[in-house]
Structure 1
Amino acid sequence: MRPSEFRESSAPDAVIRIDGLAKRYATGFEALKGVTLEIRRGEIFALLGPNGAGKTTLISIVCGLVNPSAGTVAVDGHDIVRDYRRARSAIGLVPQELTTDAFETVFDTVSFTRGLFGKPKDPAYVEKTLRSLSLWDKRDNKIRELSGGMKRRVLIAKALAHEPQVLFLDEPTAGVDVALRQDMWNLVRELRETGVTVILTTHYIEEAEEMADRVGVINHGELVLVEEKTALMSKLGRKEITFHLREPLASVPPSLDGFDLALGEGGGALTYTYDAKAARTGINTLIEALREAGISFSDLETKQSSLEDIFVGLVKEQA
């Protein structure tokens, strides 16, 4: 199946439904090619892809910032074209770029954003949001007085000001300090507990590996794969077992040629690489073969491929 033909089974609890979404610019460049995707209510969904893959274009269309060339998108049951006001009011967006009102105070800009969506004034909610992002002490500061990391926090507060059901984080931790990154992920976890759906794009794949429930991989405008994170790593990951030998070997015995074995430098270790789907019986067979070959080991260690390894492999495979 070609990536552009990727389809998911319909999810009754989907908060976002994307069907056949395409974007072609006047230059002829196709940023998206028939993307179909459903995002479940209350999940953390990580959208991964190299630069220029179509991540930001996809987010921009869902958020109403870019017009699609073809296809449909519904947010919480509201079509983004026919019922754009209700669709947009359900979404909070944290963009990549730092775009804020330089001469407004932190408290006022967040309160104003809440009012733009028709929400009544709620100083207590604004205070709670600012405190969760360690911004309360900066509430009376003008935006232009803040550091880049603090401005990023303000963008997140603005995105949450109208209590959206869906939060988009487009490369939210790019260029920010470790403290903000930790605060942000703590906040994401809290939001999910309240039922907010979080969709993030990131180059920090270890964060997606830690945070996401499901992972989507997009490349050249095509959705390559969508999978539960744990299932993805189980199906596509590679594992290694390294046997630390009691006596070094000069070479791998011919009786072990049927296994994918690599002899370590100095002959003191044998590394067996296998697919994560391989049955445990395969490892038991190897251990028995080692015993029959008169090879004993003092210790062993295992290693599994990371989400980054899988992502890089998928992109290379498509290329």
Structure 2
Amino acid sequence: MYIYRTITKSLIVIAVALMASIGPSHAQELKTLTVALTWIPNVQFAGLWIAMDQGYFKEEGLKIKFIRGGPKTAPAAVSVAAGKAQIGYTHWLPFVDAVLRGNKFKLIAATYPQSPQGVISLAKKPILTAKDLLGSGILTPAPNAKIAVDATLRINGLNLNWKQIPAGFSPEPLIAGQGDGFIGFATNQVITMEKLGLKRNKDFYFTSFYDMGFPQFADGIFVQEAFLKSDRRVVVGFLRALARGWEKNMKNPAFAADLTIKNPAKDLGLNPAQQRRQNEIQIARMPKNPRDVLVLDRATISGPMYKAALATGRKALPEPSTIMDFDIMGEIQSGLAKK
């Protein structure tokens, strides 16, 4: 009996030791995914930061790294095409352009169904419709801003009678009277206007290009087609964790803003109040039902968004089903709903 007990105790000790040795190896076996962003780390990627912080990706067997976007950085499409990132963020027209250049990409999700880009104007000359753009001097901080104005006018059957005024990223030239409108974002320059003491819909107005008839999504998510085929389980795990991150963000906007400043953007000097306000605005622009978050709208993309791309002069667009996976997020959200 003594020998039996001794052997049993020895086996238990060995089993515990084996379990201890297995733990670290499993941690090392996490698959690393690199994500290329469209902009600098900030709260617009709230779902990503939360999923990283809360261990949602780890639960899917993933470890996430990211490549910053922003000024003087390579577009996410370049990073993904070169194999430096497996997941990339993109906007509608840049994604179309990347595909037309021959890249075998697949769009798998969209963070914001409606782009927050639009025109800021003052009360003395509100720009509320596409027709109001006619004859106006518009401050444009980036080259693609002109494309958006031209496309909006074309879609509405209007001539391109407007004046482009180069500008920086601050709307202050608009306040100084240097233009009739400023192309900015509801999640950025609109907040700047509010911080300057101006009241929206009284002192200034913001109208998105989407509301003026030029539909686009923002922060779509894409992968190489080959990667989706070979590692679909990994892609599903990434999106499932990300969806959980966005769902948590909707419940507590301040959490992601504070998390962003303390971790991924700790060296950027972002303003905490601005990040909280930005998160509130972007949450309001997302689907009301958390189960619809990240899901691609087949009808909108295949219809109005394709029409918008054609209005910009882009031609020979491939069939939507060849460059997008409309089913993957639906499958994931259905699974989450059952839990």
TM above 0.5, one fold? no
Which structure dedicates a bigger proportion of its chain to strand? 1
Higher relative contact order (CA 8 A, sep 6+): 2
Which structure dedicates a bigger proportion of its chain to helix? 2
Give TM class, smaller chain: under 0.3
After TM superposition, the score normalised by the length of structure 1 is 0.27
